[in-house]
Structure 1
Amino acid sequence: MAPLRHGLVETAPPRDHGKKRRGRVKEAALAEADALISLPPDALDNILVRLGIRDAVRTSALSRVWRHRWEALPYLDLHFPRLGGDEGAPAGLWSLYGILLRCPGRVRLFHAELDGPYAGRVHDWLFVLSRRGVEILDLSFNDSFPTLPSSVFSCSRLTSLSLFGCAIPLLPAGFVAFPDLKKLTLANVHLEDYGEYQLEEIIRTSPLLEYLVLTDVFIDGEHIREWVIRAPNLRHLTICSENYYGWILKDLTCLNSAVIDWFDNVVHHDFAKFLSGLVQVRKLLVVSFNAPSAMIPKIILCTFHNLKSLKLRMHFYL
């Protein structure tokens, strides 16, 4: 240290250790990113898809090499959950069009929890998704209960379809089938008059269907008409309903498990006839809040060919 006038001593400026540390961290991150970019394309695609679309897009900030890497993904999994802290708006849904414009790959999965302002744009999304060969479609409407556009039936490559809180339109002219559909879940949905025949047609023309859930599916009309659930590859069936809608079960030769959750007014119908369609089941759960005592002998006397587990959850009365 050199002496200065008036007895002062010159000191060296303080070192910014924090800045150097941040620099080293950044350099390490860039080195790691460069190592990742050298992976085989299939491995890198798998990593980016598992990150989720928002984090995959963020990788464009790593370096110039990464800037457009996410746009080369051969397929996208798009999740847009609802965030309570953002006035219920689906997280990131505003960026959907930008993502689809920049990434031409197919959309393997589309999951969105929608509220009123977004429900009106579903038709445009479904049109684009059908052209991108969407395989898994999961739509949940929290407050608006809209009627889905008929373009939902144009998604012919679906393997899984889940709908909650909406009305389902009539089948359009020229509807063929969902030939690859393996899972169908309908919860709190509404169908127009003769909607039972529409469900029958969808199930009948889905030869690979393995998993079927019908929970609070309401059908218009004053008269109950019998219709058939025929699915030779079905492995699980859930029917939860406050009303009887004339279900008949046939050709469920592969059925492994079933959950039947009915109100007492449903059980009063020909329950024995309904049970005859479940004779192949291995695991059966029957739930009824107020079960008539006559219901128990019908279950016990039914001849089940492969039954390994039977559970009854009900409040008995005379």
Structure 2
Amino acid sequence: MAPRRPRKRRRIPDSSAMPVGAVDADALLSLPQEVLDEILARLDLRDAVRTSALCRAWRCRWETLPSIDIYIRSGKQALWTVDCVLPRCSGHVQRFHVSLDELSARRLDDWLLVLSRRGGVEDLYLRPEPPYEFVSLHSTVFSWRRLISVDLFACHIPPLRPDFEGFPVLKVLSLVNVNFQQNGEYQLEEIIETSPLLEKLILSEVDIGGDDFIEWKIRAPNLRHITICSSIDYGWNFAELPCLHSAVINLWEYVGNRDFAKFLVGLVQVRELSLYMFYAPVNGINILETLPCTFDNLKSLKLFMDFCELPSILSVFCLLKSMPNLEELKIKIYNGEVQEIELNGEFLNAQWADGMCANLEILEMTGINWLPNEISFMKLILSKARLLRTLCISHHDDCSVSHVDPLHELVTCGKASAQAQVLFKGAAENH
């Protein structure tokens, strides 16, 4: 009888010797459902779809996410992302950011309609890629009640739907280079007024059809920031904005065609103000002579201006008289190569008023050309501002005047503040 072969001892599999992918998949499957959803939610949509390759249990897990974000640049890959992935996801689309090329622009209406059937999105971003052509926004967007942020560029805005009830949770509205149809100012006023939680409003190069515009008001009780940039006066004014923190105002035609002082009154609560005022005044009229209010909350003022024109310089003094608690003044000079009129220290000193710049700590002059008006103004501030800590100067990048003598004049002139320092930073383009 042949001897019995000894049995081979059966080895118990060691988890350390198992394929890495299998161990990882098992570890993932052992996590709570909410943790798995959080992991997938943090991935780019494309990467979330690729998790299907981990194991059979993960093959369709991304389809059950409670919410997804869609970011699309351009090309056929973008079309696949929306056309194939969007119908398979049962969850809410939280963010829909699309950079539109010719192909995706044709499909935009279909995508917006699909999103509407799911109640819309919270964050909408639409921007054609350069060289861009305007795209038309589907009116179904006006039914999206969950919108929190809207950022539109180069879009045609359709009329409001008859059933439009507003955007109850909208906080950010950015309209850049968009077109409204005739009487669009009524529409814009209604959109803003029916967004009670609006905190940030950007209206830049908005175009409204027609020639005659009514005066209307921006009513936004929770607004914290506003930007208005326009070459045309569309009749906008401000209702009371009690929460306003910062504003950027660049309105070309307000220089001569409207009561700019009255317009600024609506910004009286602002803490940080950037004001573009370098356009030539109409008929030589000073755009600001007096302000009927005091900007008690204003701490920071940034001016973009022409320091060679008398009306512009007088406007600076008008502003400073009405801003008693100003701490930081920044002046960016444009078109300042030719000085039309020289304003000496005696003339500028006559514009000074009690309490002006009483709390000023920083003066920054950018893009100067070392012209007498600029130097006289800086010397005046140095001699009057008792709390001034810093005068920061940078000249225009094409300035041909030597800075040595005028800079020495500023450093050695009389100063009201013993701690005031004069800092020269060279050419403006580097700062």
Q: Which has the larger radius of gyration?
A: 2
* Correspondence for 2:204: 215
Give SS of 1:286's match. strand
Maintained 8 Å contact 1:228/1:248: yes
Counterpart for residue 12 of structure 1 = none
Whole-angstrom distance in 2 between the partners of 1:181 and 1:108: 14
Displacement after TM superposition at 1:99 (Å): 1.2
Please tell me whether residue 163 in structure 1 is matched to residue 152 in structure 2.
yes
User: Do the aligned partners of 1:78 and 1:109 also contact (CA within 8 Å) in 2?
Assistant: yes
Give the TM-score normalised by structure 1.
0.84
Higher relative contact order (CA 8 A, sep 6+): 1
The runs of at least 4 aligned residues of structure 1 exceeding 4 Å deviation read 296-299
- Note closer, same or farther for the CA distance 1:70–1:315 as it changes in structure 2 (3 Å cut): same
- 1:90 Cα deviation from its structure 2 partner: 7.1
**Following TM superposition, by how much is the alpha carbon of 1:314 offset from its aligned partner in structure 2, in angstroms?**
1.8
Q: Which residue of structure 2 aligns with residue 67 of structure 1?
A: 59
| Cα offsets for 1:250-304 (capped at 9, x unmatched) | 12111111111233x33322211110100011111112442648245557x7411
Match of 1:152 in 2: 141
TM-score scaled by length of structure 2: 0.63
Q: Is the CA contact (8 Å cut-off) linking 2:181 and 2:208 kept in structure 1?
A: yes
The 2-side partners of 1:26 and 1:172 are apart by 61
Helix, strand or coil at the partner of 1:97? helix
Rate the CA distance shift 1:243–1:90 in 2: closer, same or farther, 3 A. farther
2:97 matched to which residue of 1? 111
Contact persistence 1:90–1:112 (CA under 8 A): no
Match of 1:44 among 16, 36, 40: 36
Amino acid at match of 2:128: F
In structure 2, distance between residues paired with 1:258 and 1:308: 12
- 1:191 and 1:36 map into 2 onto residues whose CA distance is 51
The aligned residue for residue 255 of structure 2 is 267
Matched, 1:138 2:125: yes
User: Kindly, what percent of the aligned residue pairs are identical?
Assistant: 54
2:27 is aligned with what amino acid? A
Number of the residue aligned with 1:85 = none
1:237 equivalent in structure 2: 226
Name structure 1 gaps, 5 residues minimum. Answer: 1-23, 83-88
* TM superposition shift of 1:147: 2.2
Q: Does 1:306 find its partner at 2:293?
A: no
> Which of residues 245, 249, 255 is equivalent to 2:244?
255
5+ unaligned residues in a row in structure 2: which ranges?
1-15, 311-431
- Residue in structure 2 matched with residue 9 of structure 1 by the alignment: none
3-state SS of paired residue (1:92): helix
Alignment RMSD (CA, Å): 2.1
Deviates more, 1:183-192 or 1:131-140: 131-140
> Which whole-Å CA distance do the structure 1 matches of 2:154 and 2:110 have between them?
19
Point out the more displaced range, 128-137 or 193-202. 128-137
TM-superposition CA deviations, 1:53-96 (whole Å, max 9, x none): 100000001111211111110001111124xxxxxx27533231
Alignment check: 8 A CA contact 2:255 2:279 kept: no
Q: Which amino acid aligns with 2:109?
A: H
Question: Does structure 2 conserve the Cα–Cα contact (< 8 Å) formed by 1:81 and 1:90?
Answer: no
